[in-house]
Amino acid sequence: MPFTPVAAANIAEAAAAQIRELIAHDVLAPGDTLPGERALAARMGISRTSLRAALQTLTAEGLLISRHGSGLRVAEDTAGGISEPLERLLASTPDAFEDYIRFRSLIEGASAAEAARHADRTARASIARAHDAMAAAVGAGALDAAAWADAEFHMAIVEAAGNVVTIQIARSLQTLMQRGIAQSHAESQDDPEAWAALVAQHTRILAALDAGEAEPARRAMQDHLTFQIALLRQTAARVRQQDLSERRLAWGAEKSAPKARDGT
């Protein structure tokens, strides 16, 4: 007796869905603070009560965090379930790092191509902004800021492509990288020449993007990440070498001055 479909129009749930989608599209990035409840309710054309009901739902889902005097923040987490097994894997198997970059090469190459085809003005602008910030940071020798802008650049391209699933996964991988595992990566890249090369490659990607050339954009992105693999291998080899010489030195030092070390 299939008569009634029934769709209850719940205004709070609609508001929650809207905010959820914004988070998924990374318009609201993890760590961002939302506008105040009063302003938000006004802008959405609903009462603060209903807005709060929506926020309540999202908070229960763990997407938002609210602190009393401060405000509402988008939860840093977002990496739903994907990251934990991966994190263990990458921690235990250094070789997996190359697979990681290959994976990124695939999805970011496709994203670059897609972005070249139909990215809107604001998306292009945020890509360019990240690129400029990175170039400036590298020029100033601020490598922390450069690394941050680097990540921002790549993320902006994925966002410009507009696939919410891809965005979520890229975001997960990025936050995963930024906690713990990346230190070897970051520490290996204190070479100014390498940074300059990376910036040049970014410039090439951006040019293809702005020209609307999909395939060149993809190729530029993939070349860029392939270069990173090479860089990685090279520094990994050097680290081993360096490690050896350091141990040799340490051994010499210990031999000449056998002191006790603090255990804990």
**Count of other CB atoms within 10 angstroms of residue 3:** 5
Residue 215 interacting partner from DNA, a copy of itself, none (CB closer than 5 to 8 Å by kind): none
Nearer to a copy of itself, 93 or 183 (CB): 93
What amino acid occupies position 226? T
Alpha helices for 177-260 (secondary structure H):
182-188, 192-210, 214-256
Query: In the complex, what is the shortest distance from the CB of residue 263 to a copy of itself, in angstroms, rounded to a whole number?
Result: 12
Could you say which residues in the range 16-75 bind DNA, by CB under 7 A?
A: 34-39, 46-50, 52-53, 55, 66-72
Q: Are 58 and 12 in contact (CB under 8 A)?
A: no
Cα separation of the two ends of the chain: 73
Q: Does 11 engage in binding with a copy of itself (CB under 8 A)? A: no
Q: Are 58 and 64 in contact (CB under 8 A)?
A: yes
What amino acid occupies position 113? A
Could you say which residues in the range 98-137 bind DNA, by CB under 7 A?
A: none
Half-sphere exposure of 2 (CA within 13 A, CB side): 0
Q: Does 107 engage in binding with a copy of itself (CB under 8 A)? A: yes
Number of residues that bind DNA (CB under 7 A): 25
Q: Does 136 engage in binding with a copy of itself (CB under 8 A)? A: no
Q: Does 260 engage in binding with DNA (CB under 7 A)? A: no
In sequence order, the 6+-apart residues with CB closer than 8 A to the CB of 120 are 160
33: DSSP letter: B
Which residues sit at the interface with DNA, rule CB under 7 A? 8, 10-12, 34-39, 46-50, 52-53, 55, 66-72
Which residues sit at the interface with a copy of itself, rule CB under 8 A? 1-3, 5, 8, 12, 16-17, 20-21, 23-24, 49, 52-53, 56-57, 59-63, 68, 78, 80-82, 84-90, 92-93, 96, 99-100, 102-103, 106-107, 110, 163-166, 168-169, 172, 176, 243, 246-247, 250, 261
